[in-house]
């Protein structure tokens, strides 16, 4: 029997939630999947937090942050390929790997667009949490949130923090589209910084690995349907493939120090 220990995480404890939204509730449920390390699942809402040690993911493209991260990695491993693999896996996890548990368990998703994501770093500069600027969720018309509403058109996304998409296909396509638009420039920048140590196609393989890994864990942690987990995660991958992205294929991601939370 697995024993769990609730951790009083100082960042989570310090969140000042003025108006609870569906994302707050979903993230709380995700954190409960792994209470020993409550930042592993779920995201923070940036409006609830002090921004110390947080920075917008867009800064990867506009500053020398990625160059610095790459150089630090080289000092530790002396392997450009291993460092590029580690960073590609980190980006894949931050952008899409984190949202897959919510898709699998609740058929909900936050916006994975590049401009919506922030990352928190620990004292060594490693990413250890993710936040969103816009907390609005996308969900399905039969989501429990809408159960008491007779007509979807009366819902105000700006007020309620959730909007319905017409079908699971629409939801998974939207996730893949937003994630594609976020990851494409990140991978291009990583290829440039690393001097082509890892092909961009291999970086997209890391996305497939992140999606499958997250979906595989959900039936074990949450007791959800393996079939549903597989179907929803594969639908996201199918949407990536529909955009011409090689997310399926052999991937040799380094196992050392890859971001897990």
Pairing relationship of beta strands 127-132 and 44-45 according to DSSP bridges: parallel
Q: Check which CATH number belongs to the domain holding 44 and give it.
A: 1.10.510
Q: What's the whole-number average pLDDT of the chain?
A: 89
Residue linked to tokens 């993911």 = 57
Each residue of 98-148: pLDDT tens digit? Answer: 999 999 999 999 999 999 999 998 887 788 999 999 999 999 999 999 886
Please give the model's pTM, rounded to 2 decimal places.
Answer: 0.89
Whether 92 contacts 57, CB under 8 Å? no
Any domain includes 4 = no
DSSP state of 249: S
Give 128 or 235, the one with higher predicted confidence: 235
Cα-Cα end-to-end distance for the chain: 23
The whole-number pLDDT of residue 147 equals 81
Determine the Cα–Cα distance for residues 219 and 226; give it in Å rounded to an integer. Answer: 6
DSSP state of 147: T
Alpha carbon separation from 149 to 21, 30, 251 (Å, rounded): 16, 25, 45
Any domain includes 22 = yes
The average pLDDT across 240-249 equals 94
CA nearest to 88, candidates 246, 254, 206: 206
- Structure tokens that stand for 236 in this block: 């996201």
Whether 183 contacts 99, CB under 8 Å? no
Any domain includes 194 = yes
Query: In this structure, how many other beta carbons lie within 10 angstroms of the beta carbon of residue 146?
Result: 18
Give 21 or 253, the one with higher predicted confidence: 21
Determine the Cα–Cα distance for residues 103 and 53; give it in Å rounded to an integer. Answer: 28
Any domain includes 256 = no
Any domain includes 259 = no
Each residue of 179-208: pLDDT tens digit? Answer: 999 999 999 999 999 999 999 999 999 999
Task: State yes or no: pLDDT of 252 exceeds 90.
Answer: no
Any domain includes 105 = yes
Determine the Cα–Cα distance for residues 177 and 212; give it in Å rounded to an integer. Answer: 18
Task: Identify the three-state secondary structure at position 166.
Answer: coil
What is the number of structural domains in the chain? 1
CA nearest to 103, candidates 212, 20, 16: 212
Any domain includes 143 = yes
Each residue of 40-49: pLDDT tens digit? Answer: 999 999 999 9
The whole-number pLDDT of residue 8 equals 76
The whole-number pLDDT of residue 33 equals 94
Any domain includes 178 = yes
The whole-number pLDDT of residue 7 equals 57
Q: Which domain holds residue 135?
A: 10-242
């Amino acid at each position: 029997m697995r024993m769990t220990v609730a951790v009083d995480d100082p960042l989570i404890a310090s969140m000042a939630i003025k108006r609870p939204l569906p994302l707050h509730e979903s993230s709380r449920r995700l954190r409960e999947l792994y209470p020993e390390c409550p930042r592993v699942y779920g995201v923070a809402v940036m409006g609830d937090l002090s921004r110390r040690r947080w920075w917008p993911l867009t800064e990867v493209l506009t500053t020398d942050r990625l160059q610095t991260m790459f150089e630090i990695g080289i000092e530790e491993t002396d392997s450009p390929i291993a460092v590029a693999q580690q960073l590609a896996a980190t980006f894949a996890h931050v952008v899409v790997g984190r949202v897959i548990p919510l898709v699998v368990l609740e058929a909900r998703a936050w916006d994975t667009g590049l401009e919506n994501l922030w990352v928190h770093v620990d004292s060594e500069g490693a990413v250890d949490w993710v936040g969103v600027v816009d907390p609005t969720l996308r969900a399905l018309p039969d989501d429990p949130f809408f159960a008491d509403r007779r007509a979807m058109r009366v819902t105000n996304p700006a007020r309620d923090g959730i909007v319905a998409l017409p079908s699971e296909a629409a939801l998974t396509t939207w996730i893949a589209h937003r994630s594609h638009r976020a990851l494409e420039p990140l991978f291009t920048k990583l290829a440039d910084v690393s001097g082509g140590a890892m092909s961009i196609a291999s970086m997209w393989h890391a996305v497939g690995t992140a999606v499958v890994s997250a979906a595989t864990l959900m039936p074990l942690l949450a007791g959800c349907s393996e079939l549903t987990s597989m179907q929803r995660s594969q639908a996201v991958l199918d949407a990536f493939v529909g955009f011409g992205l090689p997310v399926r294929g052999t991937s040799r991601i380094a196992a050392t120090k890859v971001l897990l939370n």
